[in-house]
Amino acid sequence: MASEDSDNDEEPSVALDSCLQPVEGPVCSPEVISLAPGEGQTPLSLFTDKDSELLAFPTLLPTGSFGHAADRSTRLTLRKYFNARLLSCDTRFAESLEYLFYAQYMTEAKQIMQSISIALRKSKPRTSRGLSLTAGTFKSPDSISDIVNFDEGFRILKSVRGSPAYCQTMQFDLLAKVKQLGPFTWFLTLSVADMKWNEVIRVVSDYYGESKSDQEIADMTWSDRCHYIKLNPVIVARHVDYMFHRLFRAVILSAPHPVAQVMDYEVKKEFQARGSVHFHMAIWVKDAPKLDIDEDSEVIQFTDKYVSCQTPDDATLAQHVTELQTHHHTRSCKRNGSCRFHFPKPPAAETIICRKPESSEEIVSAVKGAKDVLTKDMKS
């Protein structure tokens, strides 16, 4: 800790190689003091070092006790322990981004270690050379080459979200549904407009005893909204997940069947660079016509029944569609001068099914005719 006799207590101390600070002497000094209590010793794993959490987060656990490795009458798994910490009424853990990433790392690393342990105990041949994944297998270069070539070394990651093995498992499930049910009917992408959701800010502010009206939230600046979104990421993430399930169950799977009667679906979550989640969904519906199997008129009629590009008559819904469902050019989409998504698109009275012409002359004629029509429509 810093000396109490320092001339300037507001000046930050020198960043040292350890968390210790000199007890005596000036706070800021050209002299660097490095302490290496672990020099010459073997580094410990986070799972072996029972005090790793206590030493890494002294401000969250100031008493230096009751970490995940503490002895308890009722044993807690890592996942249950971190869930209890992050969902506790004490929000200091949920507000710490460093602790969130620490909890994620610990749970995923534990999953991987358990998968490795199970894989090494299996005796069933898993490679082209008939070798089992035992400790002796990894001593042979040929065995390691076989394990890599047949992706055996990556199967231990299939329980970790976002890993190649996890995504491959989802891919196999999707392909199995396509084989049984045929091509999916709808593909939906749902993005979270968390900066425009007054409910998210209201939930966070109410949790901290700051009740805000709709007008107060509407008058907030962008930085104020960011403050509440970042204040408690756990509450925001849980509310977004709740809203998605409410939308899916109360709207998509509801009795009016807004996208027809759903037979099956597949959902995949992805996170953008700033952390906001979005959902990709493949949906199979009942009695949906199939392209190139059923008549084109049936496909067009079915599509026009559930898909529309019109602006709604309701003022509130029209505002949401204009703000959130209308393409606005950005530097990203016009990086090569023109919009890479080919907006704006020409209007059409109904769904149009386009097929590739058979001959090159038909292609040239079709392209020329399309350009003439598009030029006339865009000018009008």
The full DSSP string for 45-65 is PTTT-TTHHHHH-TTTSTTS-
Q: CA 119, CA 113: separation in Å to the nearest integer?
A: 10
Distance CA 80, CA 60 (A): 18
Predicted local confidence at residue 374, as pLDDT: 66
Non-local CB neighbours of 267 within 8 Å, separated by 6+ positions:
279, 280, 281
pLDDT at 181: 92
Distance CA 355, CA 347 (A): 19
Q: Residue for token digits 């209308």?
A: 326
Q: Residue 214 CA to chain centroid, in angstroms?
A: 29
Cα dist from 60 to 53, 66, 245, whole Å: 10, 11, 33
- Rounded to the nearest integer, the mean pLDDT of the chain is 80
Residues recorded for the chain: 380
| 143's tokens | 């065995």
Q: Burial letters for 249-270: b for 16+ Cβ neighbours within 10 Å, e otherwise?
A: eeebeeeeeebbebeebbeeee
Within the chain, which residues score under 50 in pLDDT? 1-18, 25, 123, 127-128, 131
Cα separation of 123 and 31, whole Å?
A: 59
- Residue 74 is classified by DSSP as S
Task: Quote the CA–CA distance of 73 and 219 in Å, as a whole number.
Answer: 51
List the structure tokens of 23: 């007890």
